[in-house]
Amino acid sequence: MKSKARYEFRAAQHKVKRRSELCKALESARAEGKTIVFTNGCFDILHIGHVRYLQDARSLGDLLVVGVNSDDSVRRLKGPERPVVPEFERVEILAALECVDYVTIFTEDTPVELILAIRPHIHVKGGDYRPEDLPEADAVRSVGGRIEIVPYTSTDTEGRSTTTLIGKIVKNHRR
């Protein structure tokens, strides 16, 4: 990964890959007949909804690859106050999860270029998305993949979005 400063990963460093390294690892997995599952997101302040979603995504194949939006990309998508957690910390937290096989950072606002590079068999998004609304849908299909929407349960979503959590923290600390 290209970094602005040195960062020492303390957990699961072998899971964190630059795009070129990831492509090589996935070529081997593909040659072994493994099903590659991909998902992406900001993952700013990891919460139980994220963990359950990632576990469900991993259950769809043999390997789960997570693309993480870079800090600059998160700022463009979520605003100047985000992310709360820097990219390399978000990556390390995700890599520490048992259900995650590989993690990589992407700098673009959508995962289109990353999908074209890694060619996943399955692209997973959460229940708040519809396949036809995904800017990456054509890229997924162009590499022979399919889109799976993992439905949320009420316990996954009630008050558990990062935005909601940040709102609660701000409200509680204004007292």
Tens of each residue's pLDDT in the chain, 175 residues: 444 555 666 668 999 999 999 999 999 999 999 999 999 999 999 999 999 999 999 999 999 999 999 999 999 999 999 999 999 999 999 999 999 999 999 999 999 999 999 999 999 999 989 999 999 999 999 999 999 999 876 554 454 555 555 555 555 667 6
Q: In the chain, how many domains are there?
A: 1
The letter for the amino acid at 42 is C
| pLDDT for res 2 | 47
Residue 53 lies in a domain: yes
| pLDDT for res 152 | 76
Residue 8 lies in a domain: no
Residue 150 lies in a domain: yes
Residue 160 lies in a domain: yes
pTM for this model (two decimals): 0.86
| pLDDT for res 174 | 72
Query: Which range marks the domain in which residue 20 is found?
Result: 13-173
Residue 7 lies in a domain: no
Looking up residue 60, the CATH number of its domain turns out to be 3.40.50.620
Residue 3 lies in a domain: no
Residue 5 lies in a domain: no
| pLDDT for res 172 | 65
| pLDDT for res 166 | 53
40 touches 106 (CB < 8 A): yes
123 touches 147 (CB < 8 A): yes
Residue 158 lies in a domain: yes
